Chain A
Amino acid sequence: MNVVIETSNIHKIYNETKVPVHALNGVDLKIEKGEFTAIVGPSGSGKSTLLNIIGGLDRPTEGQVEVGGQDISKLNDNQLIDFRKDNIGFVFQAYNLIPVLTAKENVEFVMLLQKRSKKDRDKRVKELMEAVGLGDRMDNRPAELSGGQQQRVAVARALASKPTFVLADEPTANLDSKSTKDLLDIMVRLNKEENITFVFSTHDQRVMDRARRIITIDDGKIVSDKHID
């Protein structure tokens, strides 16, 4: 089996506060290629903290994170930026897109940073924008798109760099039910057809229902891990 994410004994303690917050208390997790995994749990349970650490946006206080076999705690800040650029696609809760760039340019952005050829970029932007059903909105700025459309562009952007996996922290939290369904349809299809690995957190039961694996955390610990077939 092809392991893309492996964490061992992750602890995260926030020390900036008066009372240190133990956000993660020993998380061991293994995610394989092609999974479609939801991380669920009550508010404050540590979902975002875990996703940030897996995504190399934050560092654990203790424990190891390997992505595609590489120990990312060994990378310095700059190497980490490059690592994220080439290996991880991010979809945040909202305001994912750069307001001054068009949808097309937002999707193209990471590929420009990767110095991919124009031909290559154009082809992939078109493919992805069509895959998320926005082939006709390429030249619109984010402000001209609905929240759901913006999240779809964000998914397209996350995939543009051909990442090892896509991380999405509550990607549907700001969407109505129709947009939520559309976004999930797209994610599910990309997962099935292109075998893209998705890891996302959610509160939303309708989103959990679409997941094929549900990891529940509470108080910074994994309390259940279910595979659904």
Chain B
Amino acid sequence: MNTIIKLARRNIWRNKRRTFISAAAIMFAVFFAIAMASVNKGIFDHMEQGMVKSFMGFAQIHSNGFWEDQTLDNAFIYDESIKKLPSKYKEVQDLVPRLESFALASFKEGTKGVLVAGIDPDKENGLTKLKDKITQGEYFSNQDSTVIIAEGLADYLSVKIGDTLTLISSGYHGATAGDNYIIKGLVKFGSPELNNQMVYLPLATAQEFYAADGLVTTLVVDTDRPNKIHQTVAKLRKNLGETYEVMSYEQLIPDLIQARQMKEAGQTFMKFILYIIITFGIFGTILMMIKERQYEFGVLTAIGLKRWQLSLVVWLETVFIGFFGVLLGILISLPLVIGLNTNPVELTGDAAAAYIEMGIEPYIIASTAPELFYNQAIIVFFLVTILGFYPLLKISKLKPVEAMRN
């Protein structure tokens, strides 16, 4: 075995230039595959995280049927027994109440459909750090009857702090709702979706506006163990029974999850092409290697090296070149990936507009998830293993006399 490894190792450095050229081909393909996957994952992870952390939470509890039919008729009473729920689950920090509905917001001639969230200012801040997102004006308290709105919406309506925003909607059980609120603060969200349509009211004010006294539509699960969210969701589902629905973040942001899947599917094709390049690169090397060394292979089998041992030598050489290429590819991708991870590039102009149009934040950010890198090694190993059958086949048919006839 050591003999085989020694032979393989020495052979790799025998034709240094070829080893480097083959490895370089793999290096570039791996570099592009990593860069592409890393940026894609980076952007989507960032958006998911943004959506989840700044608004959705890792899970939500609603009255059963609310998500399908988001009307106030599906609100439920925020009573003492619900307020005590968090203490029963060690993984649940808090259940943050919201009264969520739609409304038309208008200022002067401008009108826009908005998402209204009646929130408990303290609890909400504990969950989403909403207070930190204030860019102008101030955060409100439970006693206020003012609004905080998202910057994008403020731009759209051309409102500023201190202006009075008119909200019109239909309230609980069809009551007409309409009132004016002074804008107390502006918040900024990364997600274009949130930034263009969020309006926050203190919970009591929202309940009053919607004639939904004591009611909420949503409890956002505040957890310190997001990795275990699926177990937590299952547990909550079991304990809360049929009256409530408990949804994890994947169910709450299906559009984003789907957009991601589509983007990834598109990239699969690109990756496929890259791996074809790798495959041909390696295959070319194998062909040359076998052809050049016919005579030597003849001598080796003549003096007693078994065919499988010889195949193993060639396979090890190929594996090495493959890994060498992968390693180089990873190394040259690191500066880019780490750079874009720590310093995301903010797009401007048309590119930014196009991104926002698609509901994507205009940032190029890279993910440094380890699987992005070791997946490359796994794939190349897989390719090399498959390709390794070619020399195996050739060598199994090798006749020393023929191999050595020049």
Contacts and interface: CB of A to CB of B under 8 A. Distances in A.
A44 interface: no
A96 interface: yes
B170 interface: no
Interface string B4-41: 00110011001000000000000000000000000000
Interface string B69-98: 000000000000000000000000000000
Which of B7, B10, B303, B400 has the most A CB atoms < 10 Å from its CB? B303
Interface string B383-401: 0000000000000000111
Contacts of B307: 77-78, 81
Contacts of A85: 303-304
B354 interface: no
A110 interface: yes
B295 interface: yes
Nearest to B400: A57
Interface residues of B, number: 22
A86 B306 CA distance: 13
Contacts of A105: 6
A110 B304 contact: yes
Nearest to A82: B304
Interface in A66-100: 77-78, 81-82, 84-86, 90, 92, 95-96, 98-100
Contacts of A57: 302, 400-401
A175 interface: no
A78 B308 CA distance: 10
Interface string B164-202: 000000000000000000000000000000000000000
B368 interface: no
A100 B313 CA distance: 13
B199 to A, nearest CB: 74
Contact of A101 (B7, B305, B399): B7
Contacts of B259: none
Given A52-B401, A58-B401, A98-B7, A113 B305 contact: yes
A221 interface: no
A161 interface: yes
Contact of B303 (A95, A99, A100, A157): A157
B347 interface: no
A98 B302 contact: no
B299 interface: yes
A68 B26 CA distance: 52
B302 A84 contact: yes
Contact of A95 (B295, B305, B400): B295
Contacts of A99: 14, 296
Contact of A110 (B2, B11, B295, B303): B303
Contacts of B14: 99-100
A100 B10 contact: yes
Contacts of B285: none
Interface string B303-344: 111110000000000000000000000000000000000000
A112 interface: yes
Given A52-B401, A112-B3, A98 B296 contact: yes
Given A84-B304, A95-B299, A110-B303, 9 more contacts: A57-B302, A57-B400, A77-B307, A81-B307, A85-B304, A95-B296, A96-B299, A98-B296, A100-B7
Interface of B: 2-3, 6-7, 10-11, 14, 295-296, 299-307, 399-401, 404
22 contacts: A55-B302, A57-B400, A57-B401, A77-B307, A78-B307, A81-B301, A81-B304, A81-B305, A85-B303, A90-B302, A92-B299, A95-B295, A95-B299, A100-B7, A100-B10, A105-B6, A109-B3, A109-B303, A110-B304, A112-B2, A112-B3, A113-B304
